[in-house]
A = this chain, B = another copy of it.
Amino acid sequence: MKIFKSAKSVQNYILSLKRQGRRIGFVPTMGCLHDGHLSLIKRARKDNDVVVLSIFINPIQFGPNEDYKHYPRSLKMDLMLARNGGVDVVYYPDSREMYTEDHCTYVEVNGISEVLCGEFRPGHFKGVTTVCAKLFNIVQPDIVYLGKKDYQQAIIIKQMVKNLNMPLRIKIVPIVREKDGLAISSRNRNLTKGNRKQALVIFKSLQTVRGLVKDGVKDTGKIKSKVENIISNMPGIKVEYIRVVDLKLLQPVAVIKKPVLLAIVVWIKKVRLIDNIILKP
């Protein structure tokens, strides 16, 4: 497994592989690898000749009062997991090289970046699309693997790739959950044992409304109330938002006629957890 810190050197290395006709699969991460990432790596390993993993906690996607400083870091463990997972190339950039003093270029996807998480984290997705444009130019992937837990992020990046004619495909890979149903996230490590148990209520609420929809409920007002009730029964959890939206433009849906996304964000103390489910009528 090769490890690169400089953009130019990893770019040149991969460009030389591409000239040899190798297909490049890319898994961009913020490190602190977990089973969710490993499922992306596994998928990339299956589809490609070369698997590239980036580990970069992107400062410009964090707001001034967000958890950039406390975002969990575990490089040594990450490298071990990457090696065991069959990663060929790790790109581990320095943030001063990624954002030089004269950095002033940003990529923005309007509309879908401003709803849901974008409403509560202004500028967040602009930071995400900018770093992804950079990483895709550096790594030159044929296929990029993104997790469905960050559904909004995945479709924003997909839109950017389409609109800017980037020569690559985005594959969105299903959410990986713990045995008890909690969606796996690096931020789960910042939960205490007690909070970890409380967090289960998120998945429980999603399962409950999936049942409701199966039973014929189509009114999204009812569905959101149900989720809200279940969550509010658990002390110490604060809901940021619960939304039912269409799968493409992420606009609110009142009555479920085709598959929709139920997206939820909650806070447990200082930890922000997101989850979602596709509801099919």
How many copies, total? Answer: 2
Residues in B whose Cβ lies below 8 Å from that of A246:
none
Residues in B whose Cβ lies below 8 Å from that of A106:
107-108, 110
Nearest chain-B residue to A248 (Cβ)? B102
Q: Which of A83-101 contact B (CB under 8 A)?
A: 100
Known: A11-B165, A133-B164. A107 touches B104 (CB 8 A): no
The answer to whether B167 touches A140, judged by C-beta atoms less than 8 angstroms apart, is: yes
The answer to whether A163 touches B104, judged by C-beta atoms less than 8 angstroms apart, is: yes
A253 within 8 A of B: no
Residues in B whose Cβ lies below 8 Å from that of A108:
105-108
Nearest chain-B residue to A156 (Cβ)? B105
A154 within 8 A of B: no
Known: A137-B164, A167-B11, A167-B15. A105 touches B104 (CB 8 A): no
A103 within 8 A of B: yes
Known: A19-B21, A21-B19. A167 touches B137 (CB 8 A): yes
* Number of A interface residues in the complex (CB < 8 A): 33
The answer to whether B163 touches A105, judged by C-beta atoms less than 8 angstroms apart, is: yes
| A111-B140 Cα distance, complex, nearest whole Å | 28
Q: Which of A227-252 contact B (CB under 8 A)?
A: none
A7 within 8 A of B: yes
A138 within 8 A of B: yes
The answer to whether A165 touches B105, judged by C-beta atoms less than 8 angstroms apart, is: no
A109 within 8 A of B: yes
| A105-B15 Cα distance, complex, nearest whole Å | 26
Residues in B whose Cβ lies below 8 Å from that of A133:
107, 133, 164
Q: List 12 A-B contacts (CB under 8 A).
A: A11-B165, A15-B167, A18-B19, A104-B112, A104-B159, A105-B129, A105-B159, A106-B108, A107-B107, A137-B164, A137-B166, A138-B165
Name A residues whose Cβ lies closer than 8 Å to a Cβ of B.
Answer: 7, 11, 15, 18-19, 21, 100, 102-112, 129-130, 133-134, 137-138, 140, 159-160, 162-167
